[in-house]
Structure 1
């Protein structure tokens, strides 16, 4: 049985190695969704918003945009709106007009669109234009600049970006904040348009805020310069599951979204409660007519293979090295507590000396391990190199202490 299990484990590890080394094609779909880590998602920007606005609360809009703005229409005094998307067709004219009312009440809205918007052209007197049609599959070298602290900072972009700009606007209510430079032609692509008691920050290059550019060179500085014009207050982020919300009317399309829809309507709500009651009564009466099942005691199963598969899938698909390192540290501290009766409180004083005395491992390695754990626990971001460094130290400790990571009872 053990030999057979060993063969299965060997085959599994072989398949895992082949799968991990198989190059997966890159998904270049421009979703602009904050939950997507593909090149044209906005996951990185969403994660960094808290760093850009340290005193602000980031609020994800998880329902239809019109319904959300309708619900908060009497509470506009402490937030700013953000939407980044390549096309204005995502929202209906009613949503854009609702956003106009939101800004008119004294708020700020940052909107980055890759094409013209009829509502903005009509009410804000702005016109969109492009040097040439968009070519997302090719490489277009574009220089984008933004005014910051009295000087103009320029950044080079390519692959996926467009050449859009504002060809017309009302100078009495508009202030130019940035430009696009393409083949020697320079036009405004970032403007501030006053509307009522608030103002819009309109931008024509949404691809500059995607994961691809946030992680490419120093292009993230361009995003920081542009977003610095947004007041440091609560941010209404409208790029969370945005396609699914606006096209299906559900927040995530899951069970609780369907349940909330049922509970909103009285007839559906009563039908649901009657069905639920009948199901409970059926279980109650049916259970009395059956003989009580005899409990079957099964031998303890071996979940080693499933555990290894779960960890490998987590590392392969998620690649969240920060979480993995934190779990590794917690697992190791639990191992120390089980083997040597060293609790978490003991880590605050003479931890390395106490660990060395009880485990028999040399003090130098224990100090190095304790110092590395303290450093990693204080960091908010950890990468693959940090994971391998911690893994190497823990492996050395386990090897010298003779436990190899197994949790056994103390003698």
Structure 2
């Protein structure tokens, strides 16, 4: 056996020994609070989650790995257990949570920190003290303001948070730790919120190595007549939350306003354009009045021939035809006729009288001058312009 082979074998044996020693060596305990029902570490909640059937024997247990918004269609009344370090749902989840409580569900929230939106709605204040250490001992009790049960001494429990209640609060005190309130019930609609500020009480270490009767007394406050119990796995510290794009948009005020503006605008566009659009109507030039052109041509012909008297007669004949067809008046050159025509046509009676008077004068003359023809024609044109039933209506 050559030296190279001996070196390889020796190295392999050495690595095998190191791997074996690593596997049999005691592992360091992970004291990080995960509060997950899947974790068997000291500060996981594996033991409690698997004991729910014994604690709530008549309840249907459901493990929820999604947000309240995603489960908004679940309308069953239930006892909901939320155990985490800091419970800070967004506005959409919080709205669903309030609806569930109002409809008769009971929500137990165990957390050192709770969102301000929730505490303000419940009219409570969470106080925190960061000076406590993990090895300190905490004295816990259940009961009410007038009568307290026996003391439970918990080691490795941080008393870092407690509850302060204003005088106007409707909260019912259910427990205290180191003489500070740490467990309350706040009625809300047909249900209630239960708030506990020491979530470590619910973890594996304290269930197994401290007095588990305290935990039974805490959970014993939940109504037993409700047959559904939901264990939350979504709001844990290390849970990877996957949010839908719509929820992200609705959770941000500016994006929510833009989204609803778009939806309303789209709806209005659809409603206003639901009917078939009519084609644009083309603009057509007005039709030429050939009759008027013909009359103008004939009139110019007579005018150029200097036959002014004959043209006066034709102008008056057209005027008489207009009066007969539009006002049904037979012309007899009397003041009564003038007055009747003025009333029906809306033309000043003086204009009407001047037309007839001027025509009689021109008709008796042997020769009519151009200026007289133009003056007479202007009088007739004034009548047509003032008349409410002029025959010069364009088609």
Displacement of 1:245 after TM fit?
Answer: 5.2
Please name the residue that 1:123 is paired with.
121
Displacement of 1:151 after TM fit?
Answer: 4.9
149, 152, 155: which is aligned to 1:152?
A: 149
- Deviations for 1:162-191, whole angstroms, at most 9, x for unmatched residues? 33211124566221110111xxxx121111
Contact 1:125 1:170 in 2 (8 A): no
Displacement of 1:248 after TM fit?
Answer: 2.8
Q: Which whole-Å CA distance do the structure 1 matches of 2:241 and 2:182 have between them?
A: 29
Report the aligned-residue RMSD.
2.9
Contact 1:190 1:203 in 2 (8 A): yes
1:299-318 superposed matches below 5 A: none
Displacement of 1:30 after TM fit?
Answer: 1.3
- Deviations for 1:138-160, whole angstroms, at most 9, x for unmatched residues? 32221111129x75132112324
- Deviations for 1:327-352, whole angstroms, at most 9, x for unmatched residues? xxxxxxxxxxxxxxxxxxxxxxxxxx
> Is 1:221–2:209 an aligned residue pair?
no
1:295-334 superposed matches below 5 A: none
> Is 1:76–2:76 an aligned residue pair?
yes
Displacement of 1:98 after TM fit?
Answer: 1.9
Q: Which whole-Å CA distance do the structure 2 matches of 1:14 and 1:204 have between them?
A: 48
1:254-293 superposed matches below 5 A: none
Structure 2 runs not aligned, ≥5 long: 1-12, 245-395
Q: Secondary structure at the match of 2:28?
A: coil
Please name the residue that 2:39 is paired with.
36
**Structure 1 pair 243/249, CA: closer, same or farther in 2 (3 Å)?**
farther
> Is 1:63–2:66 an aligned residue pair?
yes
**Structure 1 pair 94/159, CA: closer, same or farther in 2 (3 Å)?**
same
Displacement of 1:13 after TM fit?
Answer: 9.3
Of residues 156-165 and 201-210 in structure 1, the stretch that sits farther from structure 2 once superposed is: 156-165
Q: Which whole-Å CA distance do the structure 1 matches of 2:105 and 2:157 have between them?
A: 31
Q: Secondary structure at the match of 1:248?
A: coil
111, 114, 137: which is aligned to 2:112?
A: 114
Contact 2:105 2:192 in 1 (8 A): yes
> Is 1:47–2:50 an aligned residue pair?
yes
Larger gyration radius, structure 1 or structure 2: 2
89, 97, 100: which is aligned to 1:99?
A: 97
TM-score by length of 1: 0.51
Please name the residue that 1:191 is paired with.
184
130, 147, 167: which is aligned to 2:164?
A: 167
Contact 1:146 1:152 in 2 (8 A): yes
Q: Secondary structure at the match of 1:71?
A: coil
Contact 1:116 1:127 in 2 (8 A): no
Displacement of 1:239 after TM fit?
Answer: 2.6
Q: Secondary structure at the match of 2:149?
A: strand
Q: Which whole-Å CA distance do the structure 2 matches of 1:58 and 1:37 have between them?
A: 20
Q: Which whole-Å CA distance do the structure 2 matches of 1:71 and 1:246 have between them?
A: 22
Q: Which whole-Å CA distance do the structure 1 matches of 2:38 and 2:154 have between them?
A: 24
- Matched residues, number: 231
Q: Secondary structure at the match of 1:119?
A: helix
Structure 1 runs not aligned, ≥5 long: 1-9, 251-411
Q: Which whole-Å CA distance do the structure 2 matches of 1:156 and 1:223 have between them?
A: 12
Q: Which whole-Å CA distance do the structure 2 matches of 1:134 and 1:57 have between them?
A: 41
**Structure 1 pair 16/48, CA: closer, same or farther in 2 (3 Å)?**
farther
- Deviations for 1:16-67, whole angstroms, at most 9, x for unmatched residues? 7534421211112211111011111111110111110111111000223321
